């Protein structure tokens, strides 16, 4: 029988590399002008557009978002026409990897939240056997 490993007093720890995500949101307006918002973060949930960015909800025609996992060179994307019901305060778009929510406030300013739902953690974890 093997002797158990004493991990309590060990100062060494397994610290996997951090994953960086690059979010790029391009919004096309009704007059066909474009505006791009870029954020770099380690999180899968971000607020990519805030109310103070002066984007009018009613002026959005379409959008395109690309999320890059910089550690693994993986890219996820979603694009759509911005069709919405004027009576609702939010509009959601999703595919198998991305969930995107556009919200408006009383001044018709836009906020956009993005959630990456992809499982892109393909690291190998080694644990001691349980015996």
Residue 8 or 62, more confident: 62
- pLDDT the model gives residue 8: 52
pLDDT number for residue 119:
75
What digits encode the pLDDT tens for the residues 14-30?
Answer: 444 568 999 999 999 99
Whose CA is closest to 27, among 6, 52, 3, 48?
48
Q: Which residues pair with 36 in a beta bridge?
A: 26
pLDDT at 99: 95
Q: Rounded mean pLDDT of 87-115?
A: 93
Is it the case that residue 80 has pLDDT exceeding 80? yes
Q: How much is the pLDDT for 37?
A: 96
Sheet holding 60-69, edge to edge: 34-41, 21-29, 60-69, 74-81
């Amino acid at each position: 029988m093997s002797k158990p490993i004493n991990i309590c007093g060990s100062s060494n720890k397994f610290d996997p590399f951090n994953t960086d995500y690059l979010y790029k949101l391009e919004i096309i307006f009704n007059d066909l002008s474009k505006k791009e918002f870029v954020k770099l973060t380690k999180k899968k949930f971000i607020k990519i557009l805030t109310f103070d960015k002066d984007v009018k909800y009613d002026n959005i025609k379409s959008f395109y978002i690309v999320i890059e996992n910089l550690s693994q060179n993986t890219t996820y994307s979603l694009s759509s026409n911005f069709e919405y019901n004027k009576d609702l305060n939010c509009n959601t778009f999703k595919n198998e990897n991305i969930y995107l929510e556009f919200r408006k406030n009383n001044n018709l300013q836009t906020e956009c939240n993005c959630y990456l739902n992809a499982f892109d953690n393909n690291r190998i974890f080694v644990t001691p056997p349980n015996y």
